[in-house]
Amino acid sequence: MNKESKSYTLLYTMALVMIVGSALAYTAITLKDRQQANIDADKMRQILASVRITPAADSIVESYRHYITDSYVVDASGNRLEGDNAFDVNVGAQMRLPGGERELPVYVCTLADGSEKYILPLYGSGLWGPIWGYVSLDSDAAVVYDAYFAHQGETPGLGAEIQKPAFSSQFVGKRIFLDDRFMPVTVVKAGRAPSDGRDYVDAVSGATITSKGVADMLDNCLLPYRAFLENLSRQNQTH
């Protein structure tokens, strides 16, 4: 075949595309399990971060299995859903459903001192994309133990500050039950307390939309847990 002809060039290009495509497909398939393992490990790391546990990179899975002593899914009535795996629930997809129809993951962490913390996932929207995180509650389900937030593309120095301890540490000790009323912590502009009396933290300066996104995320994600948390609170009061 004439190597200078158009047909040769076309056939050569087609063959090259097929070879490269096959190589890329093979690589994607062979690396799929490893990629998923890395994604799972990062999720475990974030869950542990919400209870102040920071394992080494090579011991994340081991630490998760040690400290997360139970995990399950509940519905909006607080009933445990048998057969569902909390870790596999797509929280982002669930947030698009009405609160009463969602599957709500719960992670139970047992710390070194024997105390239990309940970890609930969060998912919402910032200025430039998704924001998410985890909030941990004391065993009485009424007070925040700690929180962890992350983002996809918020502005460095502004909205991206939600991922730093300077912001998340404000949630420590905040109440979500006030006079037996369920009122998730909110985010407000510095110096402005919410009119309904709920506990609050200061917004990130200069990041109004991202801060509002966190506030909306807390309400949207925690309100469906109300029945579950009220049950835990009552159980704690009877013990």
How confident is the model over 28-63, as pLDDT tens digits?
Answer: 666 567 788 899 999 999 999 999 999 999 999 999
Is 71 part of any domain? yes
CA atoms within 13 A on the CB side of 224: 25
pLDDT of residue 87: 96
Residue 114 has pLDDT above 90, yes or no: yes
Question: 48 and 87 in contact (C-beta within 8 Å)?
Answer: no
Domain count, the chain: 1
pLDDT of residue 80: 94
Residue 1 has pLDDT above 90, yes or no: no
Q: Which helix (H) or strand (E) holds 233?
A: helix 226-238
Full domain range(s) for residue 137: 47-238
Is 10 part of any domain? no
Which is higher by pLDDT, 210 or 24?
210
Quick one: tokens of 17?
A: 């595309």
* Residues contacting 102, CB < 8 A, separation 6+: 75, 76, 94, 95, 224
* Residues contacting 146, CB < 8 A, separation 6+: 50, 51, 52, 135, 136, 168, 169, 171, 172
Is 13 part of any domain? no
pLDDT tens across 121-160, in order? 999 999 999 999 999 999 988 999 999 999 999 999 999 9
pLDDT of residue 24: 64
Is 21 part of any domain? no
Cβ burial of 86 (10 Å; 0-12, 13-18, 19+) is: buried
Is 212 part of any domain? yes
**Phi, psi at 236, each rounded to 5°:** -65, -35
Is 109 part of any domain? yes
Is 17 part of any domain? no
CA angle 222, 117, 67 (to 5 degrees): 125
Is 62 part of any domain? yes
